[in-house]
């Protein structure tokens, strides 16, 4: 059986050998999930809610363990990894309120009563990337379970460890066997089988736009519903009237967090031309102060990139790129890279393509209309920020930018209580928020005759 050697990206040591799930075992897992799902869906909504609350409590008890595992496997700074594990607990807690709130409608009709039901789909396949291995998984599995489905989760090949532990914690919490199964393995085997298997009734895919399109095409063959969370090249727009000190001091976190391996990274920094020079003067010390180093150190802000192959891919973008200035990074073992600020022209490759590393392109703009046009000149539309003291402008630009998640005078984007997802080629559908369970259901309409 083939396997993946899991490497600690901070020191290149081997931390685990994870066997790949073969094709036949995926089919067996689907067969077991079908049976588990029927009993799960038949439970009283309050019992499903209680089971998810217990799962959340079990995750809560394992926050430190999960965080330490993510530090090792993904090189995330310990503070971030702890937040991620706590976020999984919170997403589960939030989802535990959903089984008892999946309200249908009663619609006025003649001759009887018309009601709608939100029926579970059956078995849901969740395919996740390596950049936030446990949080993104929870956005799929928690609401899918809440709606009465079984879930098969395929973690990314480089980062399977926290997902596998979550699968064990689900069982430890008392969740029924085979209801939530984690199947590590290759995307071209396990992921593709989720797409082609007729009994997997929905796919949630988070990853690159390129693979997402293939997954969507595969789902189309069976008219299988699919949620896609894909790439981004988000704009951080700084107007001349903004609090420039705050905009500059927060800009590094908005793009270098998780070493820029964040679909929401504000990797295009749009600055009004009249304040460009001043803004760069403020930005340079903030970038140099951004602390890159040992992810186990509590004060570290950025760890290494996830793998040697990924660091090569990021560095490949920088061959002839016009570097304005750089931060610092450790030498020696580990996939380290210094945060890098570029001053490219608008159509340079670095300014248009998703790099997925600690690299930001600063692009000047002339006025509000130019800022909106530049922000929208991308195939992507996932996230973004707007810095201005003019309330009207904040509203106009937030409405004008084609992006699923925006923040004004902040960089917040992901809260489990609010919807998240992308426009254009950044995705299809929304996760999280009050309606998170609905995409894991089919609406059934039933008319009861009074005759």
Q: Could you say which of 229, 257, 294, 301 contacts ligand NAP (CB under 6 A)?
A: 229
Residue 381 CA to residue 424 CA, distance in Å, equals 6
230 contributes a contact to ligand NAP by CB under 6 A: yes
Nearest distance, CB of residue 204 and ligand NAP, angstroms: 10
Phi, psi of 392 (to 5 degrees): -60, -45
Nearest distance, CB of residue 383 and ligand NAP, angstroms: 9
- Closest alpha carbon to 305 in 261, 242, 354: 261
Binding segment for ligand NAP among 125-133, 175-183, 276-284, 393-401 (CB under 6 A)? 125-133
User: Cβ distance 133 to 124 under 8 Å?
Assistant: no
Nearer to ligand NAP among residue 54 and residue 214 (C-beta): 214
- Closest alpha carbon to 170 in 88, 58, 91: 58
The structure tokens listed for 160 are 């399977």
Q: Could you say which of 140, 231, 364, 394 contacts ligand NAP (CB under 6 A)?
A: 231
Q: Could you say which of 18, 35, 68, 211 contacts ligand NAP (CB under 6 A)?
A: 211
Nearer to ligand NAP among residue 173 and residue 405 (C-beta): 405
Size of the site for ligand NAP (CB under 6 A): 32
Binding segment for ligand NAP among 39-47, 108-116, 129-137, 294-302 (CB under 6 A)? 129-137
Q: Which of residues 403-432 bind ligand NAP (CB under 6 A)?
A: 422, 426-427
181 contributes a contact to ligand NAP by CB under 6 A: no
Nearer to ligand NAP among residue 275 and residue 432 (C-beta): 432
Residue 328 CA to residue 291 CA, distance in Å, equals 8
Question: Is 177 an active-site residue?
Answer: no
Binding segment for ligand NAP among 87-95, 203-211, 274-282, 365-373 (CB under 6 A)? 203-211
Q: In what order do the strands lie in the sheet with 123-127?
A: 180-182, 150-154, 123-127, 200-206, 226-229, 427-428
131 contributes a contact to ligand NAP by CB under 6 A: yes
Nearer to ligand NAP among residue 192 and residue 294 (C-beta): 192
127 contributes a contact to ligand NAP by CB under 6 A: yes
C-alpha to C-alpha distances, 84 to 27, 130, 144, 232, nearest whole angstrom: 31, 13, 19, 21
Q: Which of residues 234-273 bind ligand NAP (CB under 6 A)?
A: 263
Question: Is 264 an active-site residue?
Answer: no
Per DSSP, the residues of 379-403 read SEES-EEEE-S-HHHHHHHHHHS--
Question: Residue 354: how many CA atoms within 13 Å on its side-chain side?
Answer: 25
Bridge partners of residue 444, in order along the sequence: 117
- Tokens 């995307």 correspond to what residue? 187
Nearest distance, CB of residue 129 and ligand NAP, angstroms: 3
Residue 361 CA to residue 364 CA, distance in Å, equals 10
Nearest distance, CB of residue 229 and ligand NAP, angstroms: 3
Residue 79 CA to residue 286 CA, distance in Å, equals 20
382 contributes a contact to ligand NAP by CB under 6 A: yes
Residue 149 CA to residue 38 CA, distance in Å, equals 8
Q: Which of 70, 84, 192, 229 is the catalytic position?
A: 229
233 contributes a contact to ligand NAP by CB under 6 A: no
Residue 107 CA to residue 439 CA, distance in Å, equals 21
Nearer to ligand NAP among residue 157 and residue 272 (C-beta): 157
The structure tokens listed for 79 are 């503070």
Nearer to ligand NAP among residue 122 and residue 185 (C-beta): 185
Q: How many CB atoms lie within 10 A of CB 284?
A: 16
192 contributes a contact to ligand NAP by CB under 6 A: yes
188 contributes a contact to ligand NAP by CB under 6 A: yes
Residue 219 CA to residue 213 CA, distance in Å, equals 10
Nearest distance, CB of residue 422 and ligand NAP, angstroms: 5
Binding segment for ligand NAP among 112-120, 174-182, 227-235, 341-349 (CB under 6 A)? 227-235
User: What b-and-e string marks burial along 379-406, b requiring 16 or more CB atoms within 10 Å of the CB?
Assistant: ebbbbbbbbbeeeebbebbbebbebbbb
214 contributes a contact to ligand NAP by CB under 6 A: yes
- Tokens 């293939």 correspond to what residue? 214
Per DSSP, the residues of 359-378 read EEEEEEE-SHHHHHHHHHSS
Q: Which of residues 317-376 bind ligand NAP (CB under 6 A)?
A: 354, 356
Q: Which of 192, 219, 263, 301 is the catalytic position?
A: 263
- Tokens 């699968």 correspond to what residue? 167
- Going by the DSSP 8-state scheme, the letter that residue 156 receives in this structure is -
Nearer to ligand NAP among residue 143 and residue 207 (C-beta): 207
Nearest distance, CB of residue 27 and ligand NAP, angstroms: 16
Which spans of this chain sit near ligand NAP (rule: CB under 6 A)?
Answer: 127-131, 136, 154, 156-157, 186-188, 191-192, 195, 206-208, 211, 214-215, 229-232, 263, 354, 356, 382, 422, 426-427
Catalytic positions, please?
229, 263
């Amino acid at each position: 059986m083939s396997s993946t050697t899991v490497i600690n990206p901070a020191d290149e040591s081997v931390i685990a050998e994870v066997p790949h799930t073969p094709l036949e075992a995926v089919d067996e897992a689907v067969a077991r999930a079908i049976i588990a799902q029927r009993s799960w869906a038949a439970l009283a909504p309050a019992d499903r809610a209680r089971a998810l609350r217990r799962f959340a409590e079990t995750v809560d008890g394992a926050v430190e363990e999960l965080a330490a595992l993510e530090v090792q496997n993904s090189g995330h700074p310990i503070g971030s990894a702890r937040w991620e594990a706590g976020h999984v607990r919170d997403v589960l807690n939030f989802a535990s309120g959903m089984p008892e709130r999946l309200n249908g409608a009663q619609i006025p009709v003649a001759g009887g009563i018309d009601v709608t039901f939100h029926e579970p789909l059956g078995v849901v396949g969740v395919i996740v990337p390596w950049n936030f291995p446990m949080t993104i998984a929870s956005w799929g599995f928690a609401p899918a379970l809440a709606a009465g489905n079984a879930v098969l989760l395929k973690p990314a090949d480089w980062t399977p460890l926290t997902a596998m532990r979550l699968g064990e914690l689900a069982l430890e919490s008392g969740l029924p066997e085979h209801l939530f199964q984690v199947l590590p393995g290759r995307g071209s085997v396990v992921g593709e089988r989720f797409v082609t298997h007729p009994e997997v009734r929905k796919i949630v895919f988070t990853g690159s736009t390129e693979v997402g399109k293939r997954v969507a095409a595969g789902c189309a063959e069976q008219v299988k519903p699919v949620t896609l969370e894909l790439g981004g090249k988000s704009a951080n727009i700084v107007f001349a009237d903004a609090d420039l000190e705050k905009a500059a001091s927060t800009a590094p976190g908005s793009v270098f967090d998780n070493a820029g391996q964040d679909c929401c990274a504000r990797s295009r920094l749009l600055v009004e031309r009249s304040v460009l020079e001043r803004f760069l003067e403020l930005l340079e010390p903030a970038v140099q102060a951004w602390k890159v180093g040992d992810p186990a150190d509590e004060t570290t802000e950025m760890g290494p990139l996830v793998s040697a192959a990924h660091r090569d891919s990021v560095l490949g973008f920088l061959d002839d790129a016009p570097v304005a200035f750089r931060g610092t990074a450790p030498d020696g073992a580990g996939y380290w890279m210094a945060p890098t600020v570029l001053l490219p022209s608008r159509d340079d490759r670095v300014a248009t393509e998703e790099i997925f590393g600690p690299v930001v392109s600063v692009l000047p703009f002339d006025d509000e209309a130019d800022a909106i046009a530049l922000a929208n000149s991308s195939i992507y539309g996932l996230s973004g920020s707007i810095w201005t003291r003019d309330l009207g402008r904040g509203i106009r630009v937030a409405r004008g930018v084609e992006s699923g998640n925006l923040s004004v005078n902040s960089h917040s984007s992901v809260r489990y209580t609010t919807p998240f997802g992308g426009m254009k080629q950044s995705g299809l559908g929304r996760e999280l928020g009050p309606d998170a369970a609905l995409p894991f259901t089919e609406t059934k309409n039933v008319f009861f005759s009074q005759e």
